[in-house]
């Protein structure tokens, strides 16, 4: 065979293979109904009400087979809400696909929001579907609505592209609780079988047209069911105990200072140190932190070491007060370990834990908890004294 014939044969073979190159089985983005968020509610007759936020890449391609609610976001696409009912999550998802001409795609779901009635009834069934589905994301954020989840999804955020984007942004700021699907599953099957989730509220409650969502407080989950709520004040104490207090601004009022000092949390760490002394189960909680002072309206001169130390001690009292409130609520009122104490004992004392695992709900409420706090101020700012003191501070 001559060189020219060989070259022609190679060119023809290459041309035949070109149509099969690339992602030959891929779907065009405009052929997908991309779910960015989902709300799961429970109806009065025990059925699943699934509401999904669908991001349509082409505003002109809005679904026409049935009513949808939502508003276009200019040239960024359109977010619409579709609601279906089913006997369980799988049935509802199947009905959703039947009602939408585009292929439903779960791979971009950023938010899963449980209605309060659904959370109190139990999360195991919808969680099984979401974890088992091949396209679901373990990094999706999970929330509990202070009421129906559908009402939250119907809100129109003024700045973000979609309601899901707004909730993710608020959660990732680390000023509130931030729980992913994977973390929720790990807590639910952990040693204490307890979990916490951030609660989404609507404000104002009566005027939904101008309402907006905000995150405050947490839902307490035990054995897969929501058993109570914690307010925002107690939630901060829980976050310190869980080593999840990362970035926040705290304002304290040192004694006889005549004003307030605000600190920005830089680096905070909580270490759990379990110990067993005879029949006594003891947990030592060691909290350390470094903060920056961002505002001073007191009469303290923060360039003076004694005044800095006074602020540090006041900050330690502030942390201990919130932590003690969280401990009292969890141990005496709810009687549920939401801090990960059980896992800490299991890692340190595996044999003793296995022998007493069935008694953990009795051990935890009576456990002695010792607090050790060490807060340091890293930077007091460029000025020491209050630059604009009031008349009585001069």
- Nearest CA to 150 among 166, 139, 163, 140? 163
Q: What share of the chain is helix, strand, coil (3-state, %, to 5)?
A: 35, 30, 30
Q: What is the DSSP-derived secondary structure letter of residue 330?
A: I
* Cβ count near 120 (within 10 Å): 17
Residue 207: phi and psi, rounded to 5, are -105, 85
Cβ contact 53:162 at 8 Å? yes
**DSSP code per residue over 121-161:** H-SHHHHHHHHHSTT--TT-EEEEESS-HHHHHT---SSSS
pLDDT at 66: 40
Cβ contact 56:37 at 8 Å? no
pLDDT at 68: 45
| Total-model pTM | 0.85
pLDDT at 174: 56
Helix (H) or strand (E) holding 314: helix 305-328
Map out the domains of the chain with their CATH numbers.
30-230 (no CATH), 240-394 (3.30.300.210)
Beta strands in 17-159 (DSSP E): 32-42, 48-56, 69-72, 78-86, 103-105, 111-114, 141-145
3-state secondary structure of 243: coil
pLDDT tens, the chain, 394 aa long: 566 666 666 666 666 655 555 554 455 677 788 999 999 999 999 999 999 999 876 654 444 344 444 444 433 457 889 999 999 999 999 999 999 888 889 988 999 999 999 999 999 999 999 998 877 778 899 999 999 999 999 988 777 778 888 898 888 775 668 899 999 999 999 999 999 999 999 988 766 677 889 999 999 999 999 999 999 999 999 999 999 988 789 999 999 888 999 999 989 999 999 999 999 999 999 999 999 999 999 989 988 999 999 999 999 999 999 999 999 999 999 999 999 999 999 999 999 999 999 999 999 999 999 999 999 999 988 888 876 666 555 5
Cβ contact 336:222 at 8 Å? yes
Q: How many helices (H) and strands (E) does the chain have?
A: 12, 14
3-state secondary structure of 6: helix
Cβ contact 149:113 at 8 Å? yes
| d(C-alpha 41, C-alpha 154), whole Å | 14
| d(C-alpha 106, C-alpha 98), whole Å | 15
| d(C-alpha 84, C-alpha 92), whole Å | 6
Residues paired with residue 295 on neighbouring β-strands, in sequence order: 262
Q: Could you give the angle at the alpha carbon of 70 between the alpha carbons of 69 and 73, nearest 5°?
A: 160
Bond into 204 cis (ω within 30): yes
Q: What is the DSSP-derived secondary structure letter of residue 339?
A: S
| d(C-alpha 157, C-alpha 201), whole Å | 14
- Nearest CA to 155 among 204, 86, 192? 204
Which residue blocks in 133-255 are alpha helix, DSSP H? Answer: 149-153, 163-172, 181-188, 232-241
Residue 338: phi and psi, rounded to 5, are -105, 10
First to last CA, the chain: 103
pLDDT at 2: 65
| Residue 287 exposure: Cα atoms within 13 Å on the Cβ side | 29
Q: What is the DSSP-derived secondary structure letter of residue 180?
A: B
pLDDT at 287: 97
């Amino acid at each position: 065979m001559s060189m020219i014939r060989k070259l022609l044969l190679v060119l023809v073979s290459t041309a035949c293979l070109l149509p099969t190159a690339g992602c030959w089985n891929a779907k065009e983005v405009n052929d997908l109904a991309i779910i960015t968020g989902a709300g799961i509610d429970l109806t009065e007759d025990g059925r699943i009400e699934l509401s999904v936020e669908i991001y349509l890449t082409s505003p002109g391609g809005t679904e026409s087979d049935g009513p949808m609610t939502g508003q276009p976001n200019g040239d960024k696409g359109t977010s619409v809400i579709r609601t279906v009912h089913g006997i369980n999550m799988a049935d509802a998802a199947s009905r959703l696909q039947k009602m939408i001409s585009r292929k439903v795609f779960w791979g971009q779901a950023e938010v899963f929001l449980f209605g309060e009635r659904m959370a109190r009834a139990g999360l195991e069934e919808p969680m099984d579907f979401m974890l088992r589905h091949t396209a679901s994301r373990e990094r999706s954020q999970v929330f509990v609505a202070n009421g129906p989840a559908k009402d939250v999804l119907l809100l129109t955020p003024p700045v973000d592209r979609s309601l899901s984007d707004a909730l993710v942004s608020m959660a990732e700021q680390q000023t509130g609780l931030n729980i992913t699907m994977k973390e929720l599953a790990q807590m639910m099957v952990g040693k204490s079988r307890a979990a916490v989730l951030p609660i989404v509220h609507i404000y104002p409650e009566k005027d939904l047209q101008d309402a907006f969502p905000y995150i405050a407080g947490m839902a307490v989950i035990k054995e897969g069911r929501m058993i109570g709520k914690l307010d925002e004040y107690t939630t901060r104490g829980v976050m310190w105990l869980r080593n999840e207090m990362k970035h926040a601004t705290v304002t304290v009022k040192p004694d006889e200072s005549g004003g307030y000092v605000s600190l920005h949390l830089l680096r905070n760490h909580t270490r759990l140190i379990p110990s067993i002394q005879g029949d006594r189960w003891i947990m030592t909680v060691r909290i350390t932190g470094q903060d920056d002072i961002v505002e001073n309206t007191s009469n303290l001169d923060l360039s003076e070491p004694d005044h800095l130390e006074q602020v540090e001690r006041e900050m330690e009292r502030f942390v201990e007060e919130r932590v003690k409130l969280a401990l009292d609520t969890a141990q005496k009122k709810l009687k549920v370990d939401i801090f990960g104490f059980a896992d800490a004992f299991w890692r340190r004392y595996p044999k003793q834990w296995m022998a007493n695992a069935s008694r953990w709900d009795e051990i935890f409420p009576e456990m002695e908890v010792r607090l050790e706090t060490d807060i340091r101020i890293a930077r007091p700012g460029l000025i020491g004294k209050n630059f604009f003191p009031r008349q009585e501070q001069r």
